[in-house]
Amino acid sequence: MKINCEKIAKCLLTAVAFSALLSLLLIAIFIFKEGFPFMLKVGVSDFLFSSAWNPQMGQFGIFPMIVASLYVTFGAMLIGAPLGVAGAIFMNEFLPRPAMRIIKPTIELLAGIPSVVFGFLGVMVLAPLIRNHMGGPGLSILAASVILGVMVLPTVISISTDAIGAVPHSYRDGALALGATRWQSVHMVTLKAARSGIIASIILAMGRALGETMAVIMVAGNTVKIPHAVTDPVRTLTANIALEMSNATGMAREALFATGVVLFVVIMILNAIALSVMKSRGGRR
């Protein structure tokens, strides 16, 4: 009976190992099945590049949402990437070990704060600040960028920290022995060696910012219009799906799945780039 048990275990484990890949395929198939025929029906270029979104009137152009998602993601990176990378460098290179042991987990806890809480703080604290000092409704590209920038910090910091930590100590020691200051050794040696990991962390963070939904709905203002200033309210691709999902049927629902297709494809491309960048680093060593 022993041998039987072994065989069953192996078969079961092999089957189970497919679960993640199978889920990914199921998700892709169902999102495409619901959304892609609709895109062909409306016309791919009309869907992507028309600015008229009015599901009741049969107008399905998501161009303003694409622009909004790009602006908000880009803004989030302007804030999150420099802050995150700076934090990672400082913690790895300039902070004594005991201090790092406290600060790093503290920052990782930032990742655990639910996105709705970030969104709520954006509404209660950030939006009034923007409204009073810069004009506009407050709920805006700027508010969404700041909130998302803070939300992606843990992603940037933890992956960059790992990349910087993986640089062999001999590199650093070599630079220091040649008479470089600490900072010279960091920006001439360590950062060059950890470059691909840092880039990967920023690309993954872009994916997170692009895909974030609830926080963005709360702070971005949700107006379907091509923005002209950072204080203008916008509606992102993700917000568009979540806002109209609860009462959409028929064509309108298919349009939301088509929006999901666009989001899915862009994020898969970003992930693939990040993964291959991280892998190429492993290959070179």
Listed in sequence order, the DSSP H helices in the chain are: 2-17, 19-42, 44-49, 63-89, 97-110, 115-121, 127-134, 141-165, 169-177, 182-185, 191-193, 195-211, 214-220, 237-245, 250-284
Residues numbered 124 to 163 that lie near other proteins (CB under 8 A) are: 124-125, 150, 153, 157
Interface residue with other proteins, options 39, 66, 91, 189 (CB under 8 A): 91
Residues numbered 96 to 125 that lie near other proteins (CB under 8 A) are: 103, 105-110, 112-121, 123-125
Q: Closer CB to other proteins, residue 83 or residue 251?
A: 83
Interface residue with other proteins, options 130, 218, 224, 277 (CB under 8 A): 218
Q: Closer CB to other proteins, residue 68 or residue 263?
A: 263
**By CB under 8 A, how many residues form the interface with other proteins?**
89
CB burial readout 127-148, b (16+ within 10 A) else e: beebbeeeebebbbbbbbbbbb
228 binding other proteins? (CB under 8 A): no
CB of 222 to other proteins, least distance (A): 11
237 in Cβ contact with 220 (< 8 Å): no
202 binding other proteins? (CB under 8 A): no
- HSE of 28 in the Cβ direction (CA atoms, 13 Å)? 10
231 CB burial (10 A radius; 0-12, 13-18, 19+): buried
Q: Closer CB to other proteins, residue 49 or residue 94?
A: 94
Instruction: Compute the distance between CA of residue 15 and CA of residue 230 in angstroms, rounded to an integer.
Output: 50
Interface residue with other proteins, options 77, 139, 198, 217 (CB under 8 A): 217
Q: Closer CB to other proteins, residue 48 or residue 267?
A: 267
**Nearest partner of 156 among 144, 148, 145, 168, judged by Cα:** 148
* Stretch of 166-174, 189-197, 224-232, 255-263 lying at the interface with other proteins (CB under 8 A): 255-263
Residues numbered 46 to 75 that lie near other proteins (CB under 8 A) are: none
Q: Closer CB to other proteins, residue 27 or residue 229?
A: 27
Q: How many CB atoms lie within 10 A of CB 41?
A: 13
**Nearest partner of 135 among 34, 58, 233, judged by Cα:** 233
**Contact letters for other proteins, residues 158-197 (x by CB under 8 A):** ----------------------xxxxx-xx----------
Interface residue with other proteins, options 41, 44, 78, 90 (CB under 8 A): 90
